Amino acid sequence: MTFATKQPVRDRWLLSILAERFPPATLDKLESRLQGTYWETIVRESLLSDGEVLAAVAARLRVEIADALLVSTQAREKVPEALARRFLILPLSISDSTIHIATADPLDIDCEKTLAFATSRRVRMSLSSPSRIRERIEEVYAPVERVSRLIDGSTSAVESIVERADATDVAADEKDAERPVIKLVDHIVAGGIAQGASDIHLEAGETGIAVRYRIDGILKDIMILPKAVGVTLVSRIKIMSQMDIADRLRPQGGRARVAINGARVDLRVSTLPASHGEKVVIRILDSRSALRSVESLGLDPVDGPRMQKLLEVREGLILVTGPTGSGKTTTLYAALKLLLHRGVNIITVEDPVEYRIPGIVQVQIHEKAGLTFASALRSVLRQDPDVVLIGEIRDRETAAIALQASLTGHLVFATLHTNDACSSITRLTDLGVDSAKLAGALKGVVAQRLIRRLCSACKLVANAGVPRRLIGTIPEDSMIYVPVGCAECSMTGYAGRIAITEVLVTTPEIERAIAANEPPAQLMSAARSSGTRSLWGCGCAQIVAGKTSAQELVRVVEPEGPHTDSHAAQSAYNSPNRIVYERPQDRSVTKITPGVVEVFVIRHRGGDWRVLVLQRAADGKRPESWETVYGKVDSRERPEAAARRELHEETGLEPEALYNVTVSSFYLHASNTVQMCITFAAFVPDDAAVIISDEHQRYEWVSIDEACARFTWPREAHALRDARHLLATGNAGPAEDVLRIF
């Protein structure tokens, strides 16, 4: 006779925590109804919620709670699905020495040892509920699991399923829609659209099929599919795009349309034979985000008016340049939508036509049928157009026709693939365009790139100040930001993209340089003299405005030296408070800037000074230390304005009188900057109410001696005694007109 032994419950340790909340009778009843783990039984019996159990366990074991269960691709690849399900864990992130997991059982020693051995890393645990972990395991590992089930059958059987999906019979199509490969394609495409991807890449490798989304210009790994499903996956996509599934040796292109939440989205599909199988790229053409107005492009105050000036011309040639994916089409369509309201006839010649715009005639190039850019343009000019858009100037003939049309009363927009605005002029002359005619026809050139926008929810001020590579192009006293990463931006630190532009508007000087076939350096000099700002200068302005980071700008645009575009760059963000000291020995430059302000808040009370001291919060910088009002000076802000702002933000007070007491300085070696700390004394009414900010937890009105004893920095005590010496009677006496600000 054999006896069945009851398996031990993995979270029996939870009983000691529950004993503090429930009587023994309740725990006995819980034992009798136990199914699975104690945690799940407690929640199922409605004794406690998941959140309450989480809080109790975290408080007792002092384990942090994992709020957002975001899983990195590297961590998921290191932890097999079998281990995740066995120990009910979720791999969150991984580094060279540590793997971070979410678990409902932080006391599971077997789990810790197994993971440490399997990954060769130390295990760091965070707490989450079993139900949430199971849900995320399904989301993270399920796509691969579905495909694995799919390929359990024979490959030929799967291929026959895919081929029948092209049948016109509606019932058969609905039946086939339940097939796993079709669901998988729908899942991949819908996921890309939901995450805001511009392209979906399916790349066959030695170990499997890599699925990657291009989000905000960066390719992001999503999943690895089994290699055996590659042929059927590509076949399904080809059927959707009306391509030949039997031809796997030649590149193909096609289009498809899908419906996501009731909205139709066009897809442009391209296949390319490669060593491990066909590579597929799906371009997502979502007109909801692409067809925008000029105002919504987000051009800054420098280039916005210059762009509007270009759109006010009635004839001539306007070029938009940049590499593939730099937003040229979005900019051109925004311009066409604006011109459409003027009651003009607009015709475009494109390859391909990506977005349909009502009210505009759009011609699709078809070279096999003889419809090239040049032949289409000849016919277009017979259709009485006012505005013509040429998708791309590729050859001499197209360039000549475009130039001739711009000289005969038409407004012509065209694109070129060049690095900057001046390079496009050189490119046209290289194609054989007459420079004298080009000088008369060209009205302007817009060069642009797309850079990622910092996530507003998590960006932080850079503690190290301006990076060394940007010194000389932006003021060292600028407040710049760095990416951090949060749940809202999928831990990237960025959300969305913005355009940086170089808008060249032709002037008589530029026209003479073009007509004289001047070299690119002379053209650039003439452009800068006319106020044209470079892509680098525009990007630096976006950094100063807090919209992007230095790392992102350097990733997209080639850095310029501090003197390459000094006039254009510095004029965009000139600071009235900058002092420059040059040492004649080595001509190295140290910039001295107003960096921070400190404000002593004083109640005078007829000579008996009471000074406001603030205690910092326990979870912030310098926890629980005492200080006075302290803060940074913005690059566009005068120090006295910063003092009033910081006083109001940290205490809610407004000064009756404000005095400039003293100035001290400190050196930041990272940016070769000497920053000044400017000290103020603010007298406030005796009955004024103090409202402290979140960075402080309490305040007190104390005597001068007690305040000096509490301050962390000796400099604050010295500065307060200087203020007392100068303003003992509540004013500065003979120095009143020098020290008093208001």
Confidence of residue 291 (pLDDT cuts 50, 70, 90): low
pLDDT, position 714? 80
pLDDT, position 459? 85
- Looking at the chain, how many residues does it have? 742
Does residue 160 sit in the same domain as residue 247?
yes
Q: Inform me whether the pLDDT recorded for 682 exceeds 90.
A: yes
Note whether residue 226 is domain-resident.
Answer: yes
Note whether residue 4 is domain-resident.
Answer: no
Residue 335 tokens read as 């311009």
Confidence of residue 82 (pLDDT cuts 50, 70, 90): confident
CATH label of the domain that carries residue 418: 3.40.50.300
Q: At what angle are helices 328-340 and 303-311 packed, to 10 degrees?
A: 50
Q: Inform me whether the pLDDT recorded for 282 exceeds 90.
A: yes
In the chain, % of residues over pLDDT 70: 85
Q: Of the residues 95, 113, 140, which one is the last residue of a structural domain?
A: 140
Amino acid at 214: R
Strand 673-683, strand 481-482: pairing: unpaired
Helix segments in 497-637, DSSP class H: 508-515, 520-529, 535-544, 550-556, 566-572
The Cβ of residue 69 has, within 10 Å, a number of other Cβ atoms equal to: 18
Query: Which long-range contacts (C-beta less than 8 Å, at least 24 apart) are formed by 147-154?
Result: 147/180, 147/184, 147/225, 147/226, 147/229, 148/226, 149/180, 150/180, 150/181, 150/184, 150/229, 150/232, 151/226, 151/228, 151/229
Residue 651 tokens read as 């205490």
Note whether residue 216 is domain-resident.
Answer: yes
| Cα-based angle 165, 205, 275 (whole degrees, multiple of 5) | 90
CATH label of the domain that carries residue 191: 3.30.450.90
SS3 316: strand
CATH label of the domain that carries residue 78: 3.30.300.160
Q: Is 680 left (phi over 0), alpha (psi -120 to 50) or beta?
A: beta
Note whether residue 581 is domain-resident.
Answer: no
Note whether residue 578 is domain-resident.
Answer: no
The tens digit of pLDDT for each residue in 482-506 reads 888 887 887 788 888 888 889 999 9
| Across 663-673, average pLDDT | 67
Q: Inform me whether the pLDDT recorded for 730 exceeds 70.
A: yes
The tens digit of pLDDT for each residue in 595-645 reads 888 999 999 877 788 999 999 888 777 788 889 998 888 766 788 888 998
Does residue 507 sit in the same domain as residue 622?
no
Q: Inform me whether the pLDDT recorded for 575 exceeds 50.
A: no
Does residue 105 sit in the same domain as residue 165?
no
Query: Rounded to an integer, what distance in angstroms lies between the CA atom of residue 709 and that of residue 497?
Result: 50
Query: Rounded to an integer, what distance in angstroms lies between the CA atom of residue 397 and that of residue 432?
Result: 9
Hunting for tokens 């490798």 — which residue is that?
205
Does residue 335 sit in the same domain as residue 414?
yes
Does residue 635 sit in the same domain as residue 546?
no
Does residue 316 sit in the same domain as residue 413?
yes
The tens digit of pLDDT for each residue in 598-610 reads 999 999 877 788 9
Q: Of the residues 545, 571, 597, which one is the last residue of a structural domain?
A: 571
pLDDT, position 8? 60
Does residue 312 sit in the same domain as residue 442?
yes
Task: Give me the chain's average pLDDT, please.
Answer: 80
pLDDT, position 586? 39
Query: Rounded to an integer, what distance in angstroms lies between the CA atom of residue 341 and that of residue 413?
Result: 17
Query: Rounded to an integer, what distance in angstroms lies between the CA atom of residue 269 and that of residue 258?
Result: 13
Does residue 446 sit in the same domain as residue 541?
yes
The tens digit of pLDDT for each residue in 304-330 reads 788 888 888 888 999 999 888 788 888
Spatial CA neighbour of 634 closest among 463, 477, 483: 477
SS3 384: coil
Note whether residue 610 is domain-resident.
Answer: yes
Residue 11 CB-density burial (10 A; 0-12 exposed, 13-18 middle, 19+ buried): buried
Spatial CA neighbour of 574 closest among 593, 590, 558: 593
SS3 395: coil
SS3 146: helix
The answer to whether the CB of 454 falls within 8 A of the CB of 550 is no
Residue 689 tokens read as 């109410």
| Across 361-365, average pLDDT | 86
Higher-confidence residue: 71 or 601? 601
Does residue 511 sit in the same domain as residue 658?
no
The Cβ of residue 479 has, within 10 Å, a number of other Cβ atoms equal to: 16
pLDDT, position 102? 92
Residues 6+ apart with CB under 8 A from 605: 686
Query: Rounded to an integer, what distance in angstroms lies between the CA atom of residue 574 and that of residue 474?
Result: 9
Spatial CA neighbour of 729 closest among 607, 602, 609, 603: 607
In Å, how far are 123, 223, 253 from 234, measured between CA atoms?
39, 16, 13
Q: Is 262 left (phi over 0), alpha (psi -120 to 50) or beta?
A: left
The alpha carbon of 363 is separated from its chain's Cα centroid by a whole number of angstroms, namely 35
Confidence of residue 572 (pLDDT cuts 50, 70, 90): very low
In the chain, % of residues over pLDDT 90: 11
Query: Rounded to an integer, what distance in angstroms lies between the CA atom of residue 319 and that of residue 678?
Result: 50
Spatial CA neighbour of 701 closest among 712, 713, 687: 687
Q: Please tell me the total count of domains within the chain.
A: 5
The tens digit of pLDDT for each residue in 140-188 reads 775 544 454 544 443 333 333 333 333 333 334 434 434 678 888 888 9
Does residue 619 sit in the same domain as residue 703?
yes
The answer to whether the CB of 81 falls within 8 A of the CB of 133 is no
- Which domain does 56 fall in, by range? 14-61
The answer to whether the CB of 653 falls within 8 A of the CB of 614 is no
The Cβ of residue 306 has, within 10 Å, a number of other Cβ atoms equal to: 20
Does residue 327 sit in the same domain as residue 281?
no
What does DSSP assign to residue 446? E
Residue 688 tokens read as 């004024």
Does residue 115 sit in the same domain as residue 237?
no
The tens digit of pLDDT for each residue in 382-411 reads 888 889 888 888 888 888 888 888 888 889
Least confident range of 195-204, 234-243, 368-377:
368-377
Q: Inform me whether the pLDDT recorded for 522 exceeds 80.
A: yes
| Across 577-585, average pLDDT | 38
Strand partners, 356: none
Note whether residue 705 is domain-resident.
Answer: yes
Residue 191 tokens read as 């996921």
- The b/e string for 547-558 (b: 16+ C-beta within 10 A; e otherwise) is bbbbebbeebbe
Query: Rounded to an integer, what distance in angstroms lies between the CA atom of residue 673 and that of residue 462?
Result: 15
CATH label of the domain that carries residue 617: 3.90.79.10
Note whether residue 66 is domain-resident.
Answer: no
What is 185-251 written as a DSSP string? HHHHHHHHHHTT-SEEEEEE-SS-EEEEEEETTEEEEEEEE-GGGHHHHHHHHHHHTT--TT--SS-
The answer to whether the CB of 294 falls within 8 A of the CB of 487 is no
Q: Inform me whether the pLDDT recorded for 681 exceeds 90.
A: yes
Q: DSSP 3-state helix, strand, coil percentages of the chain (rounded to 5)? A: 40, 25, 35
pLDDT, position 424? 87
Q: Is the peptide bond before 251 cis (omega within 30 degrees of 0)?
A: no
Residue 141 tokens read as 């590992």
Q: Of the residues 571, 605, 639, which one is the last residue of a structural domain?
A: 571
Q: Inform me whether the pLDDT recorded for 554 exceeds 70.
A: yes
What is the pTM for the complete model shown?
0.54
pLDDT, position 578? 39
What is 238-279 written as a DSSP string? HHHTT--TT--SS-EEEEEEEEETTEEEEEEEEEE--TTS-E
Q: At what angle are helices 155-164 and 230-240 packed, to 10 degrees?
A: 10
Higher-confidence residue: 170 or 8? 8
pLDDT, position 270? 93
